[in-house]
A = this chain, B = another copy of it.
Amino acid sequence: MNLQAPFQSPARAADPREARRQIREGLHTGHTAGLAPGYLQGNLVILPAEHALDFFRFCQRNPKPCPLVGVSDTGNPDLFTLGTDVDIRTDVPSYNIFRDGVLTESVPDIKALWGEDSVAFVIGCSFTFEQALVTDGIRLRHWDDDTTVSMYRTSIQTTPAGPFRGEMVVSMRPMTMANAIKAAAITARFPHAHGAPVHIGDPAQIGIADIAKPDFGDPTPIEDGEVPVFWACGVTPQRTVLEAKLPLVITHTPGHMLVTDIPGYEAGGG
């Protein structure tokens, strides 16, 4: 996820409704990191209804990489379960359009593409738990260095549903083992933001040959006394959907999420 696009916003809105208004009116076109802190942000996948039931199953069967936080009615762009006046056609700063699995363009709204049979899925993302880790005193190297988190393909297989299948993609954050244990306990409280780690330590055990060479994002040096900690990553459902090569799939542009009205902690509650 490229989080390094320059800020293009009058000011980082603290209120999620104000953030969406700025996005909708074209006043905020950059990434959403730091917008409406404490509110859940989500990844977006829009599919035609004929594939929605299988994708719903895929998310239900793979909750760590695909923690569903909201699903639209068919053809209705109002995601009323995620906030007041959320129009999924306009309220994400940038959308990626994929045809037959190939990225054809990035656009600032999808008014022309949303149809009667469109279904929008919003999936929790790691912003939520990263905020909790930093609040609890665990430093994140990619925050300190302003890089994109390291992501890797693994040998962990997802549970398939219809055309959706494939390996899990994970993100990696290096830290001391003491912090890894603490981070496991903290993130377990956020099942809607990928939950507890899927692995700590030896990358080879989950099929990662070279930790210095991530498949996505930037490399992250692992310093003496640190272990790599791996979490299921929201890139998993995106890759899965693209590899199914559907005629039309719409996602958010990486880093440009939907800002919801849901407090981050609420989504993790019991």
User: In the complex the two chains form, what is the Cα distance from A265 to B180 in whole Å?
Assistant: 22
Judge if A187 is at the interface, Cβ distance under 8 Å.
yes
List the B side residues contacting A57 at CB < 8 Å: 71, 73
In the bound complex, residues from chain B placing their C-beta under 8 Å from that of A190 are: 270
Considering the chains assembled together, what is the distance between the CA atoms of A188 and B71 in angstroms?
A: 24
A187: B residues at CB distance < 8 A: 270
A52 within 8 A of B: yes
Which among A57, A61, A74, A269 has the greatest number of chain B C-beta atoms within 10 A? A57
Render A23-65 as a binary contact track against B, CB cut-off 8 A, 1 for contact.
Answer: 0000000000000000000000000010011001100110000
* Bound-state Cα–Cα, A73 to B161, Å: 7
CB neighbours of A68 from chain B (8 A): 60
- Report the copy number of this chain in the oligomer: 2
CB distance from A198 to the nearest CB of B (A): 11
In the bound complex, do residue A49 and residue B53 qualify as a contact, i.e. CB atoms below 8 Å apart? Answer: yes
State in angstroms the CA–CA spacing of A43 and B61 once bound together: 17
Q: Which of A70, A71, A119, A159 has the most CB of B within 10 A?
A: A71
Residues of B contacting A56 in the complex (Cβ-Cβ under 8 angstroms): 53, 56, 60, 71
Chain B CB within 8 A of A115 CB: no
A8 at the interface (CB under 8 A from B): no
Chain B hits for A188, CB < 8 A: 269-270
Can you sample 6 A-B contacts with CB below 8 Å?
A49-B53, A52-B53, A56-B60, A60-B71, A190-B270, A191-B270
Sample of 6 further A-B pairs with CB below 8 A, known A53-B119, A56-B56, A60-B71: A53-B53, A56-B71, A73-B162, A187-B270, A188-B270, A195-B270
Sorted nearest first, the 9 A-B pairs with minimum C-beta distance are: A188-B270, A196-B270, A195-B270, A56-B56, A53-B53, A57-B71, A61-B81, A60-B71, A52-B53
